Amino acid sequence: MIGEDIHESFNDWSDLRNRILDCDMKKCSRHHKPGCKRISVLFDREGIRQEKKVMVLISQDPAVELRKEIDDAEKIEEKLVEDCQRNDFGDKPISPYPNGRLKEMLQRIFNPRKDPIYWTHSLKCLPKERNPEIGSDWPTAGQYCTNYLRNELLLLAKEEIVIIAFGRYAINASLSVLGKQQIPPEQRLLDYLTVIRDTTKSDWDTLTFHWENRTVRLYVFPHPRWESLWGAKKIRKAGLERFLRTEGDKVNEEWSRICHQT
The yes-or-no verdict on residue 204 having pLDDT over 50 is no
What average pLDDT does the segment 36-55 reach? Answer: 85
Q: How far apart are CA 193 and CA 196, in angstroms?
A: 5
β-bridge partners, 216: 161, 209
Query: Picking from 43-47, 126-130, 131-135, which range would have the lowest pLDDT averaged per residue?
Result: 131-135
The yes-or-no verdict on residue 128 having pLDDT over 50 is yes
pLDDT of residue 203: 43
The yes-or-no verdict on residue 253 having pLDDT over 80 is yes
pLDDT of residue 160: 95
- pLDDT, the chain, mean: 79
pLDDT of residue 151: 94
The CA-CA-CA angle for residues 64, 2, 209, to 5°, reads 100
The percent of residues above 70 in pLDDT, for the chain, comes to: 69
pLDDT of residue 235: 47
Query: Which of the pair, 99 or 24, is modelled with greater confidence?
Result: 99
pLDDT of residue 256: 92
pLDDT of residue 22: 78
Over residues 64-118, the pLDDT tens digits come to 666 666 667 788 888 889 989 988 776 566 677 889 889 989 989 999 999 999 9
> Which domains does the chain show, CATH number per domain?
13-259 (3.40.470.10)
Over residues 147-172, the pLDDT tens digits come to 899 999 999 999 999 999 998 889 99
- Contacts of 10-15 with CB under 8 Å at 24 or more apart are 10/151, 10/155, 12/46, 12/155, 13/44, 13/45, 13/46, 13/155, 14/44, 14/46
Over residues 10-23, the pLDDT tens digits come to 989 999 988 888 77
Q: How far apart are CA 170 and CA 19, in angstroms?
A: 21
pLDDT of residue 213: 96
SS3 readout for the chain:
CCCCCCCCCCCCHHHHHHHHHCHHHCCCCCCCCCCCCEEECCCCCCCCCCEEEEEEEEECCCCHHHCCCCCCHHHHHHHHHHHHCCCCCCCCCCCCCHHHHHHHHHCCCCCCCCCCEEEEECCCEEECCCCCCHHHHHHHHHHHHHHHHHHHHHHHEEEEEEEEEECHHHHHHHHHHCCCCCCCCCCCHHHHHHHHHHHCCCCCCCEEEEECCEEEEEEEECCHHHHHHHCCCHHHHHHHHHHHHHHHHHHHHHHHHHHCCC
The CA-CA-CA angle for residues 122, 127, 133, to 5°, reads 80
pLDDT of residue 140: 65
Confidence (pTM): 0.86
Q: How confident is the model at residue 198 (pLDDT cuts 50, 70, 90)?
A: low
